[in-house]
Amino acid sequence: MELEDIYENIENDDIEDTTKPRTLNHSQDEGKDQKCRGSRRLLLMTVCLGIICVVLLVSIIAQHISNTAERESLFKSNKNTVEEFNQTINSLQDNYTELMTEKDQLKNNFSSLSQKKLELETELRKLYEQFKEFVWIGLSDIENEGDMKWVDNSPLRQG
């Protein structure tokens, strides 16, 4: 079989003439319009969804940047607070050590002074007991308080 025979066997009814303008009937026009409107709606919904996604992405990025900046600020604030706390603790420990040293010194001084007081009181009692029997100068203010007289009632002369 040759090529010409093959082409001759094809009936002309199966071949459409593409040279003349096509005419669509009314039902085909409505179907195409609905398909076109449907695809336009789908395209519009896709664009809207895309815009919403972009806005959401931008807001998420902005929130992340804001949170990162706030976190860094809080870390710096925390670091400064910890440094200040450590300085305060060190200062208080130094002051406490100084105060405890001073307290110990004051305790020792107080003990020493108390001991000296007891020694002086004891010595004063001894002296008083020793001189009580041997010494009496003979002045008295029994009659008038503050007016000193000798035991023989002669006035004390200043001089």
Residue 103, domain member (yes or no): yes
Residue 10, domain member (yes or no): no
Residue 145 Rama label (left phi>0; alpha psi -120 to 50; beta): beta
Residue 144, domain member (yes or no): no
Four-residue CA torsion sign, 86, 87, 91, 97: positive
Residue 42, domain member (yes or no): yes
In sequence order, the 6+-apart residues with CB closer than 8 A to the CB of 156 are 139, 148, 149, 150
More confident residue, 29 or 58: 58
Bridge partners of 149? 140, 155
Residue 129, domain member (yes or no): yes
Model confidence over 23-57: pLDDT tens digits? 555 556 666 666 677 788 899 999 999 999 999 99
Residue 24, domain member (yes or no): no
Total count of domains within the chain = 1
| CB distance 137 to 130 below 8 Å | no
What's the domain range around 73?
A: 29-133
Question: What is the mean predicted confidence (pLDDT) over 95-108?
Answer: 94
Residue 83, domain member (yes or no): yes
| CB distance 93 to 100 below 8 Å | no
Model confidence over 138-154: pLDDT tens digits? 777 777 787 778 777 77
Q: What percent of the chain has pLDDT above 90?
A: 51
Residue 1, domain member (yes or no): no
pTM score, whole prediction? 0.41
Looking at residue 139, its pLDDT comes to 74
